[in-house]
Structure 1
Amino acid sequence: MKIYDRMLKINKLVPFCHSFRGGRFSFFAFTWICAVLVIAVTGCRDESSAQGNLQSKAPVTACSESVQFEPVVSDYFSIGKLCGVDVAVVRSVVGKDTLVHKYVMMDSAAASLGMDLQHRGFPEEWHSAVVLRVPLNRVAALSTSQVGYMLRLGLRDKIVGVSDGQYIVDSVLYERAQNKSVASIGYDASALEKLMALNLDLVLDFTTGGDYDNYEQIARTNLPLMLTSEWQENTPLAKLEWIKLYGILFGLRAQADTIFKQEKQKYETLKALIASADSLSSLVSRHSSEHCPRVLAGMSYGGVWHASGGNSFTANLVRDAGGCYMWASDTSRELTFSFEEVYALADSVDVWVNPSMFATTDEILALEPRVKNIKAFKEKKVFQNDGRKGLGAGNDFYEGAITRPAELLWNLTKCIKGSVPGVNSIDTSYKWYRNIYNF
């Protein structure tokens, strides 16, 4: 009975046990002792379980400390593999600062091992990364470019929130925003509340450094947030390449890679044909300007002309389309001039593109009457990028065109150069650019 005494550890109960020695156990005594044994064994199991849990939370063997990044043409995102899962680094330039955010994308199998990056053995510099469980199912896309990528991948039904439904070009999504089955988030004080109510897997946002930025407020919530910066890319192919990141996020990487590969091939083939035609023209012409029209971009506000820089998306698209951008040698993204500086070049401007948001010549003249003396204006060669619009105020140049760069290039080439020999595989139904004189 000494073993019972030690187990009970209550001195006053020892005499009580003595009466059950010698094999004369009553049913009550037997039941009482069994209960004590169960409690003791259960306690041991709980302790063992707790030790097991501690062991399961112990760090696993650290993985490689370097990410195997893929080669990309983009300047603002990188994708690769780390510790056996997909990772991404996304950069956004705000003034003189560059915001850098890291993301780890885990599917169900990877997430089953735990989503704590430190205990999974990730390098320390990745411990603060945003962990996303993919494929995503419910997303708020707060820029029309983000909507464009998702539509090209057939992900319309994954979009449950947009910034402002009236700027959506896709007719189905536009109607959903109008009947409020897709939320219009807006920028007022209720924006965060609307986002929180959507049970989101991810908020896709962007930052310009302007007054409407709200990413910092979103970041202070528990909502997963990704800032995309495709709009800052300098070339059509770099902008298109963001579709690869969307492919990873939604479990459609193979489809996204195929789209990029096919569009890239079409774009580079068309670009080569345009360059070849220009070379042929230069051989038969004494003046190179005859095969390379001089292209002006932008518009004047308050006497200040705002234009894209020589290393911008617009400048590179114009170059690939066979035009000579007026400020091609400048390496800036954005330029400003006095109207007088631009007016001095008026006689040498063959084509004018992207005259801000104006839809008609009357609207342009109402703001700045002196543009009537620009050669391109007098010769009716002013092209606006609003040829494809939605039911509301949306412009497809910022939604659908980003995923069809070859069609966009061909559209602008026809405006600048006319037809190019040998081009027969480009869908000509896409017309984002239109002559502003053709109402």
Structure 2
Amino acid sequence: MLQNKVYLLLFISSFLLFNCKEDKGIIRKLPPLEKSTNSITYAEGFSVEEVSGFKVLKINNPWPNADKTYKYVLISKEEAAKRSFMKGEYDGIIITPVKRIVVTSTTHIPALELLNEEESLIGFPGTDYVSSQKTRQLIDNGNIRELGKNEGLNTEVLLDLNPNLVVGFGVDGSSKSLNTVSKANIPVVYNGDWVEKSPLAKAEWIKFFGALYNKTKQADSIFKTIETDYKAAKKLAQTVKNRPTVISGAMHKDVWYLPNGTSTEAQFLKDANVDYLYADTTGKGSLALSFETVFEKAKSANLWLSPSYFPTMEALKEANTHYTQFDAFKNNAIYTFSNTTGKTGGVLYYELGLARPDLVLKDIIKISHPELLPYYQPFFFKQLK
């Protein structure tokens, strides 16, 4: 009996020792949980890498055809006091978590709010374009200073604010205002969310802000929820057989502008399982077509989405009486996001749509396949009255 107990104890000890060794081997192979490089799934324009004691934020594509990768050190105040970096090695040193920030696009606002960091925003160019109630209240209370126009920032006010960081937006990096800010030793990081090629890639830039505020896990969790909801809506849309035909855009002067088939707008339509009449086109930027060309192809389209900035059916008719010849006009099947605005007139879609592609997709599914989402109320898109 005693001998059996001894054998049993030896077996248990060997089992535990073996498994402890195995566990250690497994643990060594697991990537660090905070290794953000491995958690970025869709976005191609940035990465965050762990280095001993700090992180390196890389911006790969801040604007189309950018020919340089920008590198920034993200480091705590305590760790920065222990280190020195070679001049020219990085494009900026950013102390994290950021306490005072200036952003320059309304698309940056939702990320701050989702991370509960809107109170760190101290300046913004064109505050009237901000629609969010939380940030709007901070503006009305005087917590966020007006900085003029994006293409010509009021650098005097901005420098007086002395932010820890300015998140810029630019088409080629030639902003004189932001160059002035950079020369004043205030880090400027260009955000390239708008350059990404898919709705989820654009939304994933919340992880860029997560790194700035030392909230990587929170940003990952928020994005995961958005991604899951988007994929679930897309999967639901694939269950229908009836695919309504869709046209988009409208005339500006003598040209009808509408999304090309490789755009993020076209991706939404594909994922909503509709028949976008220009889905087979490619290229960069919008398609630019004549009225006659569009009319011939889209006269019988079931739905007309995003007819430029026209607020009503009457306004559309007054702009061009030929619009009334489209079946979508005759059937009152025109939907726009332009009428969903904040109290100062900013279009909410241009602020929140990039961060919440799940809502955009559900809107389009509700319009195209209403039976799939019987209780859902469209968030951005409304029927043109």
Quickly name the TM-score band, shorter chain normalised. 0.7 to 0.9
**327, 349, 354: which one pairs with 2:278?**
327
**217, 221, 238: which one pairs with 1:254?**
217
Change (3 A) 1:210 1:347: farther
Distance 1:226 1:261 in 2: 25
Change (3 A) 1:431 1:68: closer
* Aligned positions of 1:342-381 closer than 5 A: 342-381=294-333
The match for 1:337 is 289
Give TM-score scaled by structure 2 length.
Answer: 0.83
Q: Which has more radius of gyration?
A: 1
The match for 1:74 is 43
The match for 2:257 is 306
Deviations 1:360-412 (A, max 9, x none): 12222333322221221222111111353211011221223333322221111
**342, 345, 357: which one pairs with 1:405?**
357
The match for 2:184 is 221
**316, 331, 336: which one pairs with 1:384?**
336
- Give aligned-pair identity as a percent: 24
Deviations 1:57-81 (A, max 9, x none): xxxxxxxxxx993243113222222
The amino acid across from 2:340 in the alignment is R
The match for 2:112 is 150
Distance 2:157 2:164 in 1: 14
Deviations 1:163-197 (A, max 9, x none): 11111112242243245331111128661111101
The match for 2:3 is none
Change (3 A) 1:369 1:209: farther
**112, 121, 130: which one pairs with 1:168?**
130
* Aligned positions of 1:202-221 closer than 5 A: 202-209=165-172, 214-221=177-184
Deviations 1:64-102 (A, max 9, x none): xxx993243113222222345222222446565445322
**Equivalent residues of 1:68, 1:82 under 8 A apart:** no
**Equivalent residues of 1:144, 1:167 under 8 A apart:** yes
Q: 3-state SS of the aligned residue for 2:362?
A: helix
Q: 3-state SS of the aligned residue for 1:131?
A: strand
The match for 1:185 is 147
Deviations 1:90-126 (A, max 9, x none): 2446565445322221123432322x3239xxxxxx7
Distance 2:171 2:321 in 1: 31
The amino acid across from 1:320 in the alignment is D
**Equivalent residues of 2:118, 2:135 under 8 A apart:** yes
**Pair 1:85 & 2:54 matched:** yes
Change (3 A) 1:344 1:410: same
Change (3 A) 1:98 1:383: farther
Provide structure 1 residue ranges, at least 5 long, that are not aligned to the other structure.
1-66, 120-125, 282-290
**Equivalent residues of 1:320, 1:409 under 8 A apart:** yes
Change (3 A) 1:91 1:216: farther
The amino acid across from 2:165 in the alignment is L
The match for 1:293 is 244
* Aligned positions of 1:92-111 closer than 5 A: 92=61, 94=63, 96-98=65-67, 100-111=69-80
Distance 2:303 2:178 in 1: 39
Distance 1:88 1:313 in 2: 25
Distance 2:73 2:173 in 1: 28
Report which structure shows greater RCO (CA 8 Å, sep ≥6): 2
Q: 3-state SS of the aligned residue for 1:222?
A: coil
Instruction: Report deviation, 1:224.
Output: 1.0
